[in-house]
Chain A
Amino acid sequence: MGDIPENSIISLYNVTRSFGDREVLKGISFEVSRGEIFGLLGPSGAGKTTLINILTGQLSCGGNAEIFGTGCGSIGSGLYRRIGAVLDNCGLYERLSCLDNLRLHARIHAVPFSRIEEALQKVGLAESGNKKVKALSKGMKQRLALARAILHEPKLIFMDEPTSGLDPSTALEIHDLMKELQSKGTTIFLTTHNMDEAYRMCDRIALLSEGEIVELGNPAEICRQHCSSSILNIVTTDGEQMEIDNSPAHAEAVAQLMREGRLKAIHSSEPDLGTVFLKLTGKELDK
């Protein structure tokens, strides 16, 4: 596999992409290693889907993009069998039943039909096998697409906003499934603009803003780095609200409030990815 380290499943070096004269990706570089859950986090229009399309060989790009050490422009059928994808447009046959959709892909990948039941079970659609896709809700379609993506046990799975528009409990089921896949050594590359999802699920994340990576690393560490001085939110008995830096310099002010008996509530605001993103780009994440 060339001179790329054995462990690197995805590697991007200075990847660019423009539509017309609009530069959507401006030199993206990072690597994803085996068994990682890697999250690409960014607001709408940041270029997340564009990057997934490049990685799955659906779009050409400048720079160098590779998966399994092969250039993304030349992914052949052999390599496609090692990846699975859940994209925003599910690509399911609407007139066919769930089972028939999965049977098609089972035949293509030459996997036994017994896998179909298993996959449906895993995404909680065991009861709906004979339902036609057009009769399914959005969340069910999304889960069927996920069942299809894991049918042939790929080593790398792409998920474009796998839980957007799903109710919280369905989202949790999908998260559990992702963890289960990871425990079997599957690498997962997902995009999201949900910071909680990114924080809880991902080993590493990249914050993408206007086609550039503004931060990369473990989500908890990123938060710690950027929010070293946490903020105390204080509410006094006469209803006044204040924000005070959690630092020795302000100890006296807080103590004073306590002595006067005016302190009604105090809590530290947890540093989260949304705050980091706001701090780095001046923009809201989930807008």
Chain B
Amino acid sequence: MKTIIALLIKQCKDSLRNLPSLMILIIYPAVAFVMIMAMKGEEGMDNVFVPMFAAMHCSFAPLVISSNILSEEKEKGTLRSLIMAGVSRVKVLISLSVFVLVSVLLTGSAFLLMKEFTVQTAASFAAAMLTGAAVSTLIGLCIGIYSKNVTAANGLAVPVGLVFALLPMLGQFNEGIAKIAKYTYSGQFREVFEGGEFTLNTTLVPAAYFVALSILLLVLFRRKGME
């Protein structure tokens, strides 16, 4: 436990000094806020922008940040220095995930101030945000383990993150894309972010992602061992 706390403290200090990753964490809430302010005259803009950017936030940010942190640890040799200090690889992954989830939830909570929520819908909102971020973090970890360095990891993480961030939004304008977007975990959560409740689908689709990605992570971890 003391090791995980040590790693979390390190990660907080490091990320606060890492401008690009800070930007990714606040960009979607910030843009949503600006859009709502800019269109103040029109009714219901918060109902459009909050779900849209919340879905992007919980899919893009955790995915890119987790793959970035992990691949940087590998590239800079810091991961190796941790392992040589007796830190297990699993603890590195756990502390990284905790950090990403907490920071995405904290910055994502800004959405709660931009639109009216009841206690009930706010709770659903937070649950969806957390689950979406968890699935994204799993994808990010897989990419981080698979990639040799930061450049390779970003080359994978950014397009994958964009697919999950943008498909749900594009699905609003195009029937064909909507059919595909239904099968993305981010697309499912969009409905919850719009104020809907969890349904069978909004539970099953992300759950399927979660299980499949956990298995993929395990396989990659076994094969690559984070070297």
Q: Are these two chains actual partners, yes or no?
A: yes
Residue numbers of A with Cβ under 8 A of B are 56, 58, 76-81, 83, 85, 87, 89-96, 100, 103-105, 107-110, 148
Residues of A within 8 A of B10 (CB): 93, 96, 100, 104
Q: Is A77 touching B80 in the complex (CB atoms < 8 A)?
A: no
A95-B18, A110-B2 are contacts. A87–B86 as well, Cβ < 8 Å?
Answer: no
Q: What is the CB-to-nearest-CB distance from A183 to chain B, in angstroms, rounded to a whole number?
A: 25
Q: Is the CB of B9 within 8 A of A83?
A: no
- Name the residue in B7, B10, B14, B77 with the highest tally of chain A Cβ atoms < 10 Å from its Cβ: B10
CB distance from B208 to the nearest CB of A (A): 35
User: In chain B between 61 and 91, which residues have their CB closer than 8 angstroms to a CB of chain A?
Assistant: 76-88
The smallest beta-carbon distance between A136 and chain B, in angstroms, is 14
| Among candidates A80, A96, A110, residue contacting B14 with C-beta atoms closer than 8 Å | A96
| Min C-beta distance of B200 to chain A, whole Å | 44
* Top-6 shortest CB links A-B: A91-B81, A107-B6, A80-B86, A77-B86, A91-B77, A89-B77
Query: Does B13 lie within 8 Å of A108, measured CB to CB?
Result: no
Give A83's nearest chain B residue, CB to CB: B84
Q: Does B38 interact with chain A (Cβ within 8 Å)?
A: no
Question: How many A-B Cβ pairs are below 8 Å?
Answer: 72
Q: Which residues of B contact A (CB under 8 A)?
A: 2-3, 5-7, 9-10, 13-14, 17-18, 76-88
Q: Roughly how many angstroms separate A24 CA and B82 CA in the complex, as a whole number? A: 27
Contacting pair A91 B76 (CB below 8 A): yes
Q: Which residues of B contact A95 (CB under 8 A)?
A: 14, 17-18
Question: Of A94, A100, A108, which is within 8 A of B86 by CB?
Answer: A108
CB distance from A76 to the nearest CB of B (A): 8
A87 to B84, CA, bound (A): 11
A96→B9 contact, CB < 8 A: no
Contact partners of B9 in chain A: CB under 8 A: 103-104, 107
Given A91-B76, A91-B78, A91-B80, A109–B85 Cβ distance below 8 Å?
Answer: yes
Q: Which residues of chain B come closer than 8 Å to A83, judged between CB atoms?
A: 84
Enumerate chain B residues within 8 angstroms of A148, measured Cβ to Cβ.
81
